[in-house]
């Protein structure tokens, strides 16, 4: 039986997001039972309420740093209306200190800010002002996420956790690989998902005719596949994310693809990638819910892009 890889995920947040903390524990439990089982992995959600032990020898945050931060593989940080109390080490709050220490150690952190209305009492204190400062600093460091309510956070964590853990597991298992089959590699069979491209139909936008790029995703395997997103891969390795189907205006979001089922997705090349040149578009790429990628034929994709651009 393949070894189960254990990953420690630190949950960081002030006291005003207790509902989110509870929801995340439910999400991780479900993730372990379903996606984690397919990956031969298990995520342990680490929090002060479950993993800390009372100790008066040091300031509270120093004790939490010592007990919770070591050996964490990743972290999830949540903020809404508060940032917390400044720490003895001079950080804005315990959450701020934990983030800074984990960043310094190279730990991946998923940061989310809630967009629901802020309580009036927090708007009148320095909590909100200091939180905005932290948000600006984190946005300058990298990409942060946002959510409107707990339900949306659940959905985002389910998908983002899979992406984050897949990257960590791949790195760990590659580092531990030997000449023979490595213990603990993913044993879930790869479904037969096929991605193809074609020159689609022409639509008129504000009096201008535009020919759409048509992508087809087909499930030829005997099991359902949960498709996470449709992307366009560029020559430099970046992926372009079309937010909506250009023909139906449906969002580019998760969907369940039953055995034998397929779906089409239409892209307006004039509205994707900003300054990206059509010649830089390499192929279509589809990712499933556990991070596996399926790609279209590169030569065929490029010819379809060229044909569309030539007719525009």
Residue 43, pLDDT score: 95
Domains and CATH numbers, the chain: 5-176 (3.40.50.10140), 193-311 (2.60.40)
Residue 69, pLDDT score: 95
Residue 178, pLDDT score: 46
pLDDT tens, position by position, for the chain (312 residues)?
456 889 999 999 999 999 999 999 999 999 999 888 878 889 999 999 999 999 999 999 999 999 999 989 999 999 999 999 999 999 999 999 999 999 999 999 999 999 999 887 777 778 888 999 999 999 999 889 999 999 999 989 988 888 888 878 877 777 766 434 444 444 456 888 999 999 988 877 667 788 999 999 999 887 788 999 999 999 988 888 888 998 888 899 889 888 888 999 999 988 875 556 888 999 999 998 888 899 999 999 999 999 998 866
Residue 221, pLDDT score: 80
Residue 75, pLDDT score: 97
- For the residues of the chain, what is the DSSP string, one character each? -PPPEEEEEEEE--GGGHHHHHHHHHHHHHHHHTHHHHHTEEEEEE-HHHH-----SS-HHHHHHHHHSTT--EEEEEESS---PPPTTS-S-HHHHHHHHHHHTT-EEEEEEE-SPPPHHHHTSHHHHHHHHHHHHHHHHS--EEESSHHHHHHHHHHHHHHHHHHHHHHHHHHH--SSPPTT---SPPP-EEEEEEEEEEEEETTEEEEEEEEEEEE-SSS-EEEEEEEEEETTS-EE--SB-TTT--BS--EEE-TT-EEEEEE-GGGSSTT--GGGEEEEEEEETTS-EEE--HHHHHHHHHHHHHH-
């Amino acid at each position: 039986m393949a070894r189960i890889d254990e990953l420690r995920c630190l949950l960081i947040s002030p006291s005003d997001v207790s509902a989110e903390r509870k929801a995340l524990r439910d999400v991780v439990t479900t993730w372990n039972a379903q996606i984690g089982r397919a990956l031969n992995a298990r995520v342990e959600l680490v929090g002060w309420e479950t993993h800390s032990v009372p100790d008066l020898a040091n300031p509270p945050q120093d004790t939490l740093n010592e007990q919770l931060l070591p050996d964490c593989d990743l972290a999830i940080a949540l903020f809404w209306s508060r940032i917390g109390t400044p720490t003895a080490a001079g950080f804005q709050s315990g959450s701020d200190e934990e983030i800074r220490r984990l960043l310094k150690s190279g730990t991946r952190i998923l940061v989310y800010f809630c967009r629901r209305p802020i309580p009036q009492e927090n708007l009148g204190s320095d909590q909100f002002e200091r939180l905005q400062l932290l948000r600006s600093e984190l946005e300058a460091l990298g990409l942060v996420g946002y959510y409107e309510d707990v339900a949306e956070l659940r959905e985002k964590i389910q998908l983002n956790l899979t992406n984050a853990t897949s990257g960590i597991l791949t790195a760990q298992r590659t580092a531990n690989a030997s000449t023979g089959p490595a213990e603990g590699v993913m044993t879930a069979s790869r479904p037969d998902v096929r991605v193809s491209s074609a020159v689609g139909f022409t639509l008129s936008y504000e009096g201008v005719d535009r020919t759409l790029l048509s992508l087809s995703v087909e499930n030829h395997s005997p099991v359902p596949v949960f498709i996470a997103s449709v992307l366009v891969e560029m020559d430099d390795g970046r992926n372009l994310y079309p937010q909506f189907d250009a023909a139906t205006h449906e969002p580019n979001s998760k969907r369940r693809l039953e055995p034998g089922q397929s779906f089409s997705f239409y892209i307006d090349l004039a509205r994707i990638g900003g300054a990206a040149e059509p010649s830089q578009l390499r192929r279509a790429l589809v990712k499933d819910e556990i991070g596996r990628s399926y790609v279209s034929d590169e030569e065929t994709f490029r010819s379809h892009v060229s044909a569309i651009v030539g007719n525009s």
